Amino acid sequence: RELYRQMLIRLFDFSLDAHPNVGRDISEDAENLIIRIEQLIYQYPDARSCLEELPYPRKSALANGINCVFYALLFCRQLGFAASHEIAFAALFHNLGLAEIDPKLPLLHESDLSGAELLVYQRHPALSIEILLRKVIKLTPLQERAILHHHENYDGTGWPAALAGATLPTEAALLSIIGAFDYCNTTSPGENARSSQEAWQQLLKFHRESTTLGKKFRPELLARIGVLFKDPNGSK
């Protein structure tokens, strides 16, 4: 978390914008962090024990990026995705833009935001990309798509482009699940801690109930990732 915090300080330090190597240095540090997290994951005998022990359990803007790297690497391994480090890099930084909007807005449900507030909140994926580009951090097309469209829904009710079904890039559909799972798997002070299985069940409920058409996430990805949360007796 300290390494990530230092990266964030450099990302938001305007005095470094003209520094020719800052983007390269941050990118290298991010990749090293991803490699270190991957090495941690491989020390666990299985994904279940890793999911229960590694992620930081309390809601935290600082921990969110690191937790999402855990899930990106685990879920990509389960899915057989070769671009795991690309997706993990996008996961690490996908919510940077929240730092440049009213901090009260992310705490509210989208349905509780006024029209003007919702428009401000919906800018944060593009702002995340802008912050990275401002530091001359090169993003691959996959990473830009993942960050920009991580609030799209499988049923076409998301934003910014209302992409649906096959038009929604797989990397964005996966990052949407990753971010939502971190929300479900972390708690605020005073809330009871959840097991990873309980968090996954909450995510499935969110999938069914959070959109008017009842299909927030790509069903194929949910089914394949969901294998990680089955108990030895076969129940979910």
Residue 232 confidence (pLDDT): 58
Q: Is pLDDT of 56 > 60?
A: yes
Yes or no: say if 150 and 138 are a contact pair by the CB < 8 Å rule. no
Mean pLDDT of 170-186: 97
In whole angstroms, give the CA distance from residue 205 to residue 214: 10
Q: Is pLDDT of 233 > 70?
A: no
Tell me which long-range contacts 48-53 makes (C-beta under 8 A, separation of at least 24). Answer: 48/196, 48/228, 48/229, 50/74, 51/196, 51/228, 52/195, 52/196
Percent of the residues in the chain that have a pLDDT greater than 70, as a whole number: 98
Top-confidence residue, 32 or 231: 32
Dump pLDDT digits (tens) for 17-49. Answer: 878 899 999 999 999 999 999 999 999 999 999
Alpha helices in the chain (DSSP H): 2-11, 22-42, 47-53, 61-79, 84-93, 115-121, 124-134, 141-148, 170-185, 196-209, 219-226
Q: Is pLDDT of 235 > 50?
A: no
Top-confidence residue, 222 or 235: 222
Yes or no: say if 236 and 198 are a contact pair by the CB < 8 Å rule. no
Mean pLDDT of 203-222: 96
Residue 208 confidence (pLDDT): 96
pTM of whole model > 0.75? yes
Q: Is pLDDT of 236 > 50?
A: no
Mean pLDDT of 71-75: 98
In whole angstroms, give the CA distance from residue 102 to residue 122: 12
In whole angstroms, give the CA distance from residue 219 to residue 154: 8
